[in-house]
Amino acid sequence: MGIAFYLILTILSCSEDNDNGDSPEASGKLDIPFASIASNITENSFQANWALVSEADSYLLDVSTNSNFSVMLTEYNALIVQNNTVTVTGLSPASNYYYRVRAKKGTEITNNSNVITVTTTGVAAEEPEDPTFLKVKANALENPFYVGVAVKAHQLTEGSAYDEVLKNEFSSITAEYEMKMNPISTGSGSYNWEAADKIVNYGNDNGINVHGHALVWHNAVPDWLSNFSGTDTEFALEVKKFITDVVTRYAGKVRSWDVVNEAVDDNGNMRNTIFLQKMGPDYIKDCYQWARDAANTAGDTDLLLFYNDYATSTNIPKQDRVFSIVDDLKANNLIDGVGFQMHNTYLSPTKAQIETDINRAVALGLKVHVSELDIQVNQNNDITYLTEERALAQKEKYKEIVKIYNALPKANKYALTVWGFKDNESWIPYSTDLNHPGNDWPLLYNDKFELKKAHTGFLEGLD
């Protein structure tokens, strides 16, 4: 008896689910109920209403998160109701729900009513990002590597938000500009070490690796040297003195240096810098030799010397020229690694382009530093805020490059450094150097220092 009753019910509800036509069982006295609009809508509840059907003894209410009722809320899956209204609770804010009812009299059940759509009030809760710390996950890898960030001296105040994020998440730092020639060198043989010292000491005191950036860069030549009126030989001696003094001061404290930065132009030629003009094409080798000699003399025989440049993955003539410089340095035993800046976009470079580029350093047995990673999402100025779609695309790109890096052989791994903390402090938005036309959101934390999807992408790249 009980089983037979259950079977009849099942058959009825199956035939009714996708069928709004009359079925023989439902054709008797009962009218199909008419659902009316919801009332008392809040963030997590609403009142479902319908018109009473004469002779019905109860109603069956369905509430679903989709309009074809394929996913029913468990507590509202043919919920039996004696009245013509029910308060539906336990809902999410700013979400769509759908309801319908059937009338019931004994074993007789009608077809479904019309469907009412309700949107709860409030703001949809964001899926929280994975709060795992980057360096914690990276350190647990079979072949770990440093996770670095570019810093500015003023951020390194004990107890500041930067200080906290840095110590939790990062195992390496690079000065974003305060260890370049321009801020340090105030004249021939005179120096301002304040900011650089602060950065190096911070790293040393907190067990954080320090990467030195950059001894020789055409964009950071101090005025006194740009306007140098001595002979070319005297100019070279000034450069030698600077390299020697800086490397000596930080010997044993800075693990690695970008000795020459961006010596190749966008056509794949040697960049026509003041260094090339005054010192000739061998200036690069000379700079590395001076850095090596200074470190050795100071007792640091482990200092790692890097060549650092940008856009080598997409610009093949440039890549070729960079690797001819690197080959030459390697043949003279003057280089330990290559820095790939990776100021990328959510569209470029491709995985294959990055791999081809990086593998040239691997083939030479050199260390690889992804040295200035950021990923633009608005290089064409076509969005005015970070859209969900772009945030997801950026996340995938972060994940991709971290995966590529993590797959490198142990001997070639060094560090993967992100170029700054918060989006609004990145050098990318409105950068005239980059001809960046508008705002952008290229980093791992938003303006409020909250984790972005990009951060989760970084973590996923370590899986």
- C-alpha to C-alpha distance for 199 and 210, rounded to whole angstroms: 8
Does 427 bind ligand XIL (CB under 6 A)? Our answer is yes
Q: Which of 16, 176, 178, 372 is catalytic?
A: 372
Does 228 bind ligand XIL (CB under 6 A)? Our answer is no
For the chain, count helices (H), then strands (E): 13, 19
User: CB of 283: closest distance to ligand XIL in angstroms?
Assistant: 18
Q: Taking phi first (over 0 means left), then psi (-120 to 50 degrees means alpha), and beta for anything else, what does residue 311 get?
A: left
User: CB of 359: closest distance to ligand XIL in angstroms?
Assistant: 22
- Name which of residues 360 to 379 contact ligand XIL (CB under 6 A): 372
The set of residues, in sequence order, having a beta carbon less than 8 Å from that of 320 and lying 6+ positions away, is 268
> Residue 458: what are its φ and ψ, rounded to 5°?
-60, -50
Residue 267 structure tokens: 């056509």
Using the minimum distance from each CB to ligand XIL, give the nearer residue, 155 or 341: 341
Using the minimum distance from each CB to ligand XIL, give the nearer residue, 235 or 427: 427
Between the alpha carbon of residue 199 and those of residues 160, 173, 250, 417, the distances in Å are 15, 8, 11, 16
Using the minimum distance from each CB to ligand XIL, give the nearer residue, 176 or 300: 176
Using the minimum distance from each CB to ligand XIL, give the nearer residue, 48 or 428: 428
Burial tier of 142 (Cβ tally within 10 Å: 0-12, 13-18, 19+): exposed
- C-alpha to C-alpha distance for 431 and 109, rounded to whole angstroms: 68
- Name which of residues 150 to 169 contact ligand XIL (CB under 6 A): none
The amino acid that residue 285 corresponds to is: K
User: CB of 175: closest distance to ligand XIL in angstroms?
Assistant: 9
Query: Per-residue b/e over 372-404, b at no fewer than 16 CB within 10 Å?
Result: bbbbbbbbeeeeeebeeebbebbbebbbbbbeb
Burial tier of 68 (Cβ tally within 10 Å: 0-12, 13-18, 19+): exposed
- Name which of residues 235 to 274 contact ligand XIL (CB under 6 A): 261
- C-alpha to C-alpha distance for 440 and 437, rounded to whole angstroms: 9
- C-alpha to C-alpha distance for 311 and 102, rounded to whole angstroms: 65
- Size, binding site for ligand XIL by CB under 6 A: 7
- C-alpha to C-alpha distance for 19 and 13, rounded to whole angstroms: 10
User: CB of 122: closest distance to ligand XIL in angstroms?
Assistant: 40
Contact 43, 122 (CB under 8 A): yes
Residue in the shown chain whose Cβ atom is closest to ligand XIL: 427
Using the minimum distance from each CB to ligand XIL, give the nearer residue, 59 or 306: 306
User: CB of 230: closest distance to ligand XIL in angstroms?
Assistant: 27
Q: Catalytic: 425?
A: no
One of 176, 300, 336, 374 touching ligand XIL (CB under 6 A): 176
User: CB of 340: closest distance to ligand XIL in angstroms?
Assistant: 11
Residue 87 structure tokens: 């308060």
Does 307 bind ligand XIL (CB under 6 A)? Our answer is no
Using the minimum distance from each CB to ligand XIL, give the nearer residue, 436 or 452: 436
One of 313, 341, 344, 345 touching ligand XIL (CB under 6 A): 341
Using the minimum distance from each CB to ligand XIL, give the nearer residue, 53 or 215: 215
Does 177 bind ligand XIL (CB under 6 A)? Our answer is yes
User: CB of 234: closest distance to ligand XIL in angstroms?
Assistant: 27
Residues lying near ligand XIL in the complex (CB under 6 A): 176-177, 261, 310, 341, 372, 427
Q: Which residues are catalytic?
A: 372
